[in-house]
Amino acid sequence: MNQPSQKRILMSKTGLDGHWRGPTLVARALRDAGFEVIMIGMANTDEIVRAAVDEDVDLVGLNIGGHIDVALRAVRAVNEARPGLPVFAGGTVPPHAKRQLEELGVEVYPPGSQLAEIVDAAYRLTGATAPA
Amino acid sequence: MTREHNLLQDAIAGKRAALARLLSNVENDSAFAMRLAQDLAPHAGRAHIIGITGPPGAGKSTLINQLLPRALGTHERAAVLAVDPSSPFSRGALLGDRVRMQGPSTGSNVFIRSMASRGDQGGIARATATAVQLFDACDWPVIIIETLGIGQVELDIMNLADTVVVALNPGWGDTFQANKAGLTEAGDLFVINKADRPGADSTRRELLESLSLLARRPLPTIVETVATDGSGVDELWGAICSRFMQLQADGDLATLRQARRMRLANKSIRAELDARAAASLASSAGQRLTERVAAGTMSSEETTRVLLQLLQGDQASAP
């Protein structure tokens, strides 16, 4: 009787960058693709980890603005609290930061990435099946 | 079930990840939710369950963000279940209530869980009742449920909460709106939020007028708040607590909860009967029945009688 489990994605911003447009667009695309997207807005590492645990999400999306150190700390903390939980990231990510994130297992979608590409990644990373 | 049993043990022992996973299982697996609800039924009833409801944009999330620090002054910790609508088209959902919950609301003594309505039409989700039971069993002493933005009839929250807080804004309807809406009957406390905007006084007057037509005495308290700066929220939390303590002292809480449990059971029974009737109508015997109804050769009363016979037949042949 049950429909396939609905996959849940946490969307958060790291740092104090005030841009909402990117994460909002991505969140809407993910919603339209059938995901339940939990927005927490600007959050520090503790808040991101707590939300990832309490909301039992299948994927974490980070919008990175400003200091890469803040984002790396958040990713490490998520990896520790929920080993194996996939993380993907977007936002203004310079090449060296992209490498650092990738070393931690994060898939990075820099500016210019297509929404379809990001949605496909969400399907793949959560193991959800795209609607026919 | 063993793995689920261990999860429950861990959740009751205070492991958040276990509680979080159980909440997902309750949402995803209705058979599991049913078993768990039965297991937990004898243990429930310790928490104060508060529902916050009202139209979209009334400021429900922001009010909860302000209520949480006050709740943490009374209780050691607090849980929030925030329900938002699922898209009927994609089944996806944007769960944005957490965006408004900042600062003290994000500490480790607060457990916020966002929940998509997943097609339920009552203002909450089908899984919300069992999720509340879970929080209660895991010793969260106060559980705040935020319904999705409602209109006039999505009032299932009254089957779940000890205290239903209805949040409105200045300029909400007029006396006529207030009178026709079930909202006035469902609320135990009323908040006029964004009370710094023009029209708060007349909204209070009209609401009071409408409430005074109900049989209920004493009249529900009306509190004016500005959730963005916290004005009036101390008064609101005080009103929530004093009403609850009064209910406990008078012994009315038990009566109220009994009535609430019966309403919840009734709803569940009706939902199950609806589902069975639909299934029965879809069977080949049911199809023949619907054809005769459509052709006008069978009255609706006769159809009901035959359908009930069909249902009893299903019952007899069930394993």
From the CA of A44, how many Å to the nearest CA of chain B?
Answer: 10
Stretch 88-127 of chain A: residues touching chain B, C-beta under 8 Å: none
- Do B89 and B202 fall into the same domain? yes
Joined tokens for residue B135: 């929080």
**Does residue A45 fall inside a structural domain?**
yes
Q: Is residue B306 part of a domain?
A: yes
Residue A2 has pLDDT above 50, yes or no: no
Cα distances (angstroms) measured from residue B293 to each of B85, B107, B287, B307:
36, 59, 10, 12
Its sign, for the CA torsion B233, B236, B241, B242, is positive
Residues A1, B30: C-beta atoms closer than 8 Å: yes
Whether residue A2 lies inside any domain: the answer is: no
Here the tokens at position A41 are 């807005």
Q: Is B316 found in the same domain as B210?
A: no
pLDDT at residue B4 is higher than 80: no
Reported as a single tens digit per residue, the pLDDT across A27-44 is 999 999 999 999 998 889
d(CA B154, CA B147): 9
**Residues of chain A contacting residue B93, judged by C-beta atoms under 8 Å apart:** 31, 36-37
pLDDT at B177 over 70: no
Of B234 and B219, the one with more pLDDT: B234
Q: Tell me, yes or no, whether B225 and B284 share the same domain.
A: no
> What is the pLDDT averaged over residues B234-261?
94
Say what the pLDDT of residue B274 is.
87
B246 and B257 housed in the same domain: no
> Could you check whether the bond before residue B218 is cis, i.e. omega within 30 degrees of 0?
yes
Please report the pLDDT score of residue A16 as a whole number. 63
Residue B307 falls inside a structural domain: yes
Tell whether B216 is covered by a domain: yes
Adjacent-strand bridge partners of B114: B82
A60 touches chain B (CB under 8 A): no
Are B137 and B240 in the same domain? yes
The phi and psi torsions of B167 (rounded to 5 degrees) equal: -100, 125
Task: Tell me if A132 is assigned to some domain.
Answer: no
Output the DSSP codes for chain B: -HHHHHHHHHHHTT-HHHHHHHHHHHHH-HHHHHHHHHHHGGG---SEEEEEE-STTSSHHHHHHHHHHHHHHHSS-EEEEEEEPBPTTTS-EEE-GGGG--GGGGSTTEEEEEEE-TT-SSSS-TTHHHHHHHHHHTT-SEEEEEPPP--SS--GGGGT-SEEEEEE-TT---HHHHHH-THHHH-SEEEEESTTSTTHHHHHHHHHHHHHTSS-SSPPEEEEEBTTTTBTHHHHHHHHHHHHHHHHHHTHHHHHHHHHHHHHHHHHHHHHHHHHHHHHHHSHHHHHHHHHHHHT-S-HHHHHHHHHHHHHHHHHH--
Could you tell me if residue B28 is inside a domain? no
B27 within some domain: no
Question: Is the domain of B225 the same as that of B112?
Answer: yes
User: Residue B78 is part of a domain; what is its CATH number?
Assistant: 3.40.50.300
Best of B102, B114, B120, B135 to disrupt the A interface (most A CBs within 10 Å) is B114
Rounded CA-CA distance B266/B79 in Å is: 27
Range of the domain at A25: 8-126
Best A3, A32, A36, A47 member to test B by mutation, with max B CBs in 10 Å, is: A36
Residues B272 and B186 in one domain: no
Assess whether pLDDT exceeds 80 at residue B257.
Answer: yes
Query: Model confidence over B112-145: pLDDT tens digits?
Result: 999 999 988 889 998 999 999 999 999 999 999 9
Residue B317 binned pLDDT confidence (cut-offs 50, 70, 90): low
Give the residue on A whose Cα is nearest the Cα of B101.
A40
pLDDT band, residue B215 (cuts 50/70/90): confident
Interchain pair A32, B87: CB under 8 A: yes
Of B224, B250, B276, the residue that ends a domain is B250
Nearest CA-CA distance, residue A107 and chain B, Å: 22
Q: A23: pLDDT confidence band, cut at 50, 70 and 90?
A: confident
Whether B16 and A38 lie within 8 Å, measured CB to CB: no
Residue A131 domain flag: no
Whether A36 and chain B come into contact, CB under 8 Å, resolves to yes
For residue B178, is pLDDT > 70? Answer: no
Mean pLDDT score, B88-106: 90
The answer on B316 and B226 residing in a single domain is no
When pLDDT is averaged across residues B208-218 and rounded to a whole number, the result is 84
What's residue B58's pLDDT? 94
Do residue B88 and residue B175 come from a single domain?
yes
- In the prediction, which pLDDT does B237 show? 98
pLDDT digits (tens, 9 = 90+) for B180-202: 667 888 899 999 999 999 999 99
Quick one: what percent of chain A has pLDDT higher than 70?
Answer: 92
Residue B311 has pLDDT above 60, yes or no: yes
Give residue B298's domain range: 253-319
What's the total number of domains in chain B?
A: 2
Of the listed ranges A101-105, B35-39, B162-166, B268-272, the least confidently predicted one is B268-272
For chain B, the distance separating the N- and C-terminal CA atoms, rounded to the nearest angstrom, is 22
**Confidence class for position B176, pLDDT limits 50, 70, 90:** low
Q: What SS3 state is found at A63?
A: strand
First to last CA, chain A: 20
The reported pLDDT for the residue numbered A4 is: 60
Task: Nearest by CB to B92, from A3, A36, A43: name it.
Answer: A36
The interface predicted TM-score (ipTM) is 0.93
Whole-Å CA distances, B106 to A45, A54, A72, B178: 11, 11, 21, 35
Angle at B31 between CA B23 and CA B146, to 5 degrees: 35
Q: Taking CB atoms and an 8 Å limit, are A38 and B29 in contact across chains?
A: no
Q: Which of B201, B231, B250 is the last residue of a domain?
A: B250
Domain identity same for B140 and B245: yes
pTM recorded for the entire structure:
0.90
Instruction: Report the CATH number that the domain containing residue A42 is assigned in CATH.
Output: 3.40.50.280
The pLDDT, as a whole number, for residue B105 is 84
Q: Provide mean pLDDT across the span B98-119.
A: 91
Q: Indicate if B201 and B302 belong to the same structural domain.
A: no
Q: Does B173 fall in a domain?
A: yes
Residue B290, judged by CB atoms within 10 A of its CB (0-12, 13-18, 19+), counts as middle
Residue B92 distance to chain A (closest CA, Å): 4
Distance from CA of A124 to the nearest CA of B (A): 17
The pLDDT value recorded for residue B179 is 61
One domain for residues B131 and B274: no
Q: What is the DSSP letter of A113?
A: -
Domain membership of residue A106 (yes or no) is yes
- Which residue of chain B comes nearest to A28, CA vs CA? B94
pLDDT tens digits for B65-75?
999 999 999 99
H or E element at residue A52: helix A45-54
pLDDT value, residue A1: 35
**Interchain contact, A2 vs B28, CB within 8 Å:** yes
Nearest neighbour of A31 by CB, restricted to B93, B99, B102: B93
Cβ count within 10 A of residue B146: 28
Residue A14 inside a domain? The answer is yes
Q: How does residue B172 score in pLDDT terms, banded at 50, 70 and 90? A: confident
Hey, of B80, B91, B120, which one would you mutate to test binding to chain A, going by the most A CBs within 10 A of its CB?
B91
Nearest chain B CA: its distance from A111 CA (Å):
22
Question: B174, B167 in Cβ contact below 8 A?
Answer: no
